[in-house]
Structure 1
Amino acid sequence: MTASKGHRLARLILDLRTPMLYLGILLVAATAAFTVISPQTLRFLQAHLNQELAYFTVTDPFLAHVRLGLGLAIFTTVPLFSWWFWKAMAGPFNLTRPTRVWFVLFSCLLFYGGTIFCFMVTLPLGVNFLLGYQSEQLQAVIAVGKFVTFVTVFVLAFGFIAMLPIFMVFGAKSRLLTRKSFERNRGYAVLIITIIAALITPTPDMVNLSFMAVPMYLLYESGIMIIKLLKIE
């Protein structure tokens, strides 16, 4: 790592230190607040995915509601986190205020677009496929904790992954990477995307992995196209 890159990284860490502390406090408070309304949210999730849930320990329902509250807290604080993040990036990478505003705007649009698409399309498809192996002899009994973890991780991960194009544009605009380097390293991108999808996907089967990996690669290609359209070399 060059001295210039090391200086940028050190400055970025210092600029993010206080916002991350505030964000942590906000997440704790928001989680507590959302935990109160999580029973209604859980009923909505059950109706959307048409699932009956069970629990096997006395703490399962409480912990499931806390996890759901945390997921909702993360979901709602993304705009604030995005604002702080790009504000911190502005100094080390000389981002102008209009550029920073555009990055914040499109980060939020991509995140929420990804979560909505996942919730409405990818998640129901994945759940229906996985539960399609039920039979008269083999009936699913889904634990509420596993269900909440699966849904929140899958939806939030999809949202954050949907932000990939904006980070690719940032990398090209900041001269950290070039469009040609993205094009040249497609093979490595496929490998990294597959590994990330395998780590994020709550279940290890190839179907769920493909539900995460294929959109990630399409986002990667769209990032290259956007860089080309913006004429960033």
Structure 2
Amino acid sequence: MQEHLKNLTAFLAELRKSLRFAVFSLIGLTAVIFFLSSGLIGAFQEHLHEKLYFFSVAEPFLAHVKAAFFGAVYCLMPLFMHILWKALGNPFGVTGRRLFWFTTATCLLFYLGSLFCVFVTLPYGASFLLSYQSAHLKPFIAVGSFVNFVTIFVLAFGLIFELPVFMVFSVQTGALSVQFYKKNRRFAILAIAIIAAVLTPTPDVFNMALMGVPLYLLYEAGILVVRLLRIDERRPAIKIP
């Protein structure tokens, strides 16, 4: 217990060192992207073939601020991942080449998940939800709700696609084992089904499968990577060629 508390203290101390730089970077880039946010919203609007409206005086401005903030988070994800793994470096030995590989893998999977959401899940989900319109029920989509809808799902997909990296990390630190992941596949499937039901924009089985199947494949990929790298749970190092 004392060792875990010591690791947590070291992690938070290192994280605090970089927090100010990350916050100022986020604010600065948000301000820059704000002037490009009209094009960003327009690109998603054209991609999903939707007309947008606003129903309050401040709504367009706030929607552009949200879009700019999302764009900044998306662009700065490599920085955030580097800060995270650097903070984990002291207590868990994630340094040098391991720091580079963890940061690179999390960034690649984040962007892969977000792009999968943009080009696969969102178009189908939006089309399915809007299929319920009728002669007496016409869609008037508020720009604020549209930005919230898009950004939440894109970020969520990006983050959950990082599952294999954190599986590798948990085994490398000894927090969990390969056998744990192998023996609890059925619980993993249940958890993935729940996550897919909550995060996907539509409740139909096909759209849930668009998220659930890749997520389960990533779960299996995490197990495979741990075995291929031959991570010894009793050692604090990862054998990366």
What TM-score comes out, normalization by structure 2 length? 0.88
Determine if the alignment matches structure 1 residue 106 to structure 2 residue 125.
no
* Superposed displacement of residue 164, structure 1: 1.0
CA distance in structure 1 between the aligned counterparts of 2:59 and 2:118, rounded to whole angstroms: 23
**Equivalent position of 1:152 in the other structure:** 151
More helix by share: 1
The alignment partner of 1:82 has SS state of helix
The alignment partner of 1:154 has SS state of helix
* Superposed displacement of residue 119, structure 1: 0.8
**Equivalent position of 2:236 in the other structure:** none
4+ residue segments displaced more than 6 Å? none
**Equivalent position of 2:203 in the other structure:** 206
Structure 1 counterpart of 2:167, which letter?
A: M
CA distance in structure 2 between the aligned counterparts of 1:95 and 1:143, rounded to whole angstroms: 45
Determine if the alignment matches structure 1 residue 89 to structure 2 residue 66.
no
Q: Percent identity?
A: 42
**Equivalent position of 1:78 in the other structure:** 77
Q: Which moved more, 1:189-198 or 1:140-149?
A: 189-198
Determine if the alignment matches structure 1 residue 220 to structure 2 residue 234.
no
Determine if the alignment matches structure 1 residue 173 to structure 2 residue 172.
yes
* Superposed displacement of residue 40, structure 1: 1.0
**Equivalent position of 1:33 in the other structure:** 32
* Superposed displacement of residue 212, structure 1: 4.1
After superposition, the Cα gap between the structure-2 partners of 1:10 and 1:195, relative to the gap in structure 1 and judged at 3 Å, is farther
Deviations 1:150-200, CA, capped at 9 Å, x for gaps: 00110111111111111111111121111111122234334444554566x
CA distance in structure 2 between the aligned counterparts of 1:92 and 1:230, rounded to whole angstroms: 21
Q: Which moved more, 1:183-192 or 1:140-149?
A: 183-192
**Structure 2: gaps (5+ residues):** 233-241
CA distance in structure 1 between the aligned counterparts of 2:218 and 2:131, rounded to whole angstroms: 29
Aligned residues: 230
Q: Which moved more, 1:73-82 or 1:121-130?
A: 121-130
**Structure 1: gaps (5+ residues):** none
Deviations 1:96-127, CA, capped at 9 Å, x for gaps: 41111111111111111111111111111111
Determine if the alignment matches structure 1 residue 6 to structure 2 residue 5.
yes
Contact 1:126 1:211 in 2 (8 A): no
CA distance in structure 2 between the aligned counterparts of 1:22 and 1:196, rounded to whole angstroms: 33
CA distance in structure 1 between the aligned counterparts of 2:180 and 2:60, rounded to whole angstroms: 48
CA RMSD of aligned residues (A): 1.9
CA distance in structure 1 between the aligned counterparts of 2:109 and 2:179, rounded to whole angstroms: 24
